[in-house]
Amino acid sequence: MNLRERIRDVPDFPKPGIVFKDITPLLLDPAATDAAVRELAAYAREREAELVVAAEARGFILGGALARELNTGFVPARKPGKLPHQTVSAEYMLEYGVDTLELHADALQRGTRVLVHDDLVATGGTARAVCDLVQRLGGDVVGCAFVVELSFLEGRARLAPFDVHSLVAYDAG
Amino acid sequence: MNLRERIRDVPDFPKPGIVFKDITPLLLDPAATDAAVRELAAYAREREAELVVAAEARGFILGGALARELNTGFVPARKPGKLPHQTVSAEYMLEYGVDTLELHADALQRGTRVLVHDDLVATGGTARAVCDLVQRLGGDVVGCAFVVELSFLEGRARLAPFDVHSLVAYDAG
């Protein structure tokens, strides 16, 4: 299964000069989606993950399917004001400005082996914020798994020392 | 499997007087999540759905797992500015003001039998907007499936004549 063929380049989105990697064609293809989930799950099993924590919103699509494949719980990392119960929150840098993600404070037990998932890793800021939140709750981040990695933005460096796995990597924008 | 026991009441969220139905405990329980996905899938099969269209963001969590269970494609309905390719958009009423949802214009073929999914139906405005978008693209909405239904807000009436199925209904706020 060539997942790369199911990822569409959309030039100048969200702004001029950026080539957006669009996974919606992959999501329309059940065989490709199944292959992606199985490959993410193989990595998660190798890392002995016990819980999937995924970032809002695109990370939820395969994240939920991944947790089901692994027979683990699923925890959503969300933008401020979305989670109804008590939360912990972390700010992270965007290209311009900052954003915030939250986890429910009761989302995981101390020592839980957590896989962090998002559809795409660019600079790694979002996933790093999720890792930090998991650690703050006493969880053990055993790996970060993405469908798409924009390697030239060096998200792996920002996520170190956490282990990173991606299914399709792009070396240049 | 008693799914209702896995749904938490959070009083006064998002504002005083509202009791929020929080599905995050259900998502932490793989057996409960599996039961929910299987039950949603049974309904979708009965309606002969060929595609799952789900609303951002919580609808993505079980929506992705549901599409995988059904071996169908998955289409995200998103807030404005999130989908990178050409879109169609629909406004819908909130308690105060309006909001907008979008689908990719190439998300489905004419005549495709579509299941619309969200985690929760309240007044039905969000799901109605998704149904309208699916129809605008020539799709056939064969049913709307939710985990939680706030029956007292009469979302079913707003979604008529579309068929509605929910796993856990609440008759009073």
Catalytic annotation, pick one of A58, A68, A91, A128: A58
Chain A residues whose CB is inside 8 A of the B29 CB are 73
Is residue A95 annotated as part of the catalytic site, yes or no?
yes
For the domain that residue A48 is a member of, what is the CATH number?
3.40.50.2020
Q: How confident is the prediction along chain A (173 residues), in pLDDT tens digits per residue?
A: 899 999 999 999 999 999 999 999 999 999 999 999 999 999 999 999 999 999 999 999 999 999 999 999 999 999 999 999 999 999 998 777 899 999 999 999 999 999 999 999 999 999 999 999 999 999 999 999 999 999 999 999 999 999 999 999 999 87
Is residue A56 annotated as part of the catalytic site, yes or no?
no
- The whole-number pLDDT of residue A96 equals 74
Q: Is A149 left (phi over 0), alpha (psi -120 to 50) or beta?
A: beta
Residue of A nearest to B81 (CA): A14
Q: Report how far residue B42's alpha carbon sits from residue B58's, in angstroms, rounded to the nearest whole number.
A: 20
The total number of structural domains in chain B stands at: 1
| DSSP H helical ranges for chain B | 24-28, 30-46, 59-70, 125-136, 155-159
Question: Range of B147's domain?
Answer: 3-170
Q: A83 touching B, CB under 8 A?
A: yes
Q: Tell me how far the alpha carbon of residue B94 is from its chain's centroid.
A: 16
Q: What is the pLDDT of residues B120-143, one digit of tens each?
A: 999 999 999 999 999 999 999 999
The b/e string for A160-172 (b: 16+ C-beta within 10 A; e otherwise) is eebbbbbbbebee
Nearest to B61 among A76, A81, A83 (CB): A76
Average pLDDT taken over every residue of chain B? 96
Task: For B32-75, give the secondary structure using H, E and C.
Answer: HHHHHHHHHHHHHHHCCCCEEEEECCCHHHHHHHHHHHHCCEEE
Name, in order, each residue with C-beta under 8 angstroms of A128's C-beta and a sequence gap of 6 or more: A92, A158, A159
Q: A10 touching B, CB under 8 A?
A: yes
- The whole-number pLDDT of residue A94 equals 79
The answer to whether residues B124 and B96 touch, using CB atoms and an 8 Å cutoff, is no
| Residues within 8 A of A (CB atoms), B 141-160 only | none
